[in-house]
Copies of this chain bind each other. A is one copy, B any other.
Amino acid sequence: MDFLTIIDILGTISFAISGVLTAMNKRMDVFGILIIAAVTSVGGGTLRDVLIGKTPVTWMLNMTFIYVILGATIAAIVFRPQLKYVRKSLFLFDTIGIGLYTTAGVQIGLAADLHPIICILLGTMSACFGGVLRDILCNEIPVIFRKEIYATACILGGVVYLILYRFDVDTSLTTIIAGSVVITVRLLAVHFKLSLPSVYRDAAMPE
């Protein structure tokens, strides 16, 4: 098991746990919690695969995801009173996860021969859409649309990936640098409480 696989599993775990917490908050039953955990973890990659026609989608071809999500969900339910003590680690795993998911998405887009900007969008979608689906299923406006710098970090990382790719930098190195950009931007944004401006509406709605 190499370094990237370990990071991938840590990312999946932290995504699953964020799903468990949201679902418990909504007083779902054990089945609902499991589904929300799974959707948060694999939702982004699934949308990416469906849109580019890479089917059966990735999580169906590899049981690792299923086992990791199942294990993380059970552990999060059992040890839920203790979760607050690992809050910082979870945040870090989550951030590393989006870094990795972003670069994986960009890579898959390039392999499918899509336009560089589309590849950045695919990467961002892979990293962010799981959380969007989680919020829709929990009947909330997705948090990412309101006050997160999440997606901006992914887009910047995607841009860096493509620049390095153009200069023929080695793929592993590109992945590590672009992933680090995502992680750094997100950590800085949370630390300095940066967020995108929201725009209040003062115009007429067309009917």
Contact = CB atoms under 8 A, between A and B. Distances in A.
Interface of A: 14, 17-18, 21-33, 35-36, 46, 50-53, 55-57, 60-61, 63, 66, 77, 80-84, 87, 90-91, 94, 112, 114-115, 117-118, 121, 132, 136-142, 144-148, 151-152, 190, 195-207
A139 B18 CA distance: 20
A144 B31 contact: yes
A137 B147 contact: no
A87 to B, nearest CB: 5
Contacts of A50: 50-51, 55
Contacts of A112: 56
Count the copies. 3
B23 A205 contact: no
Given A63-B117, A114-B60, A142 B146 contact: no
Contacts of A80: 199, 201-203
Contacts of A190: 207
Contact of A29 (B18, B30, B146): B146
B56 A206 contact: no
Contacts of A204: 83-84, 87
Nearest to A53: B55
Contact of A196 (B30, B56, B151, B195): B30
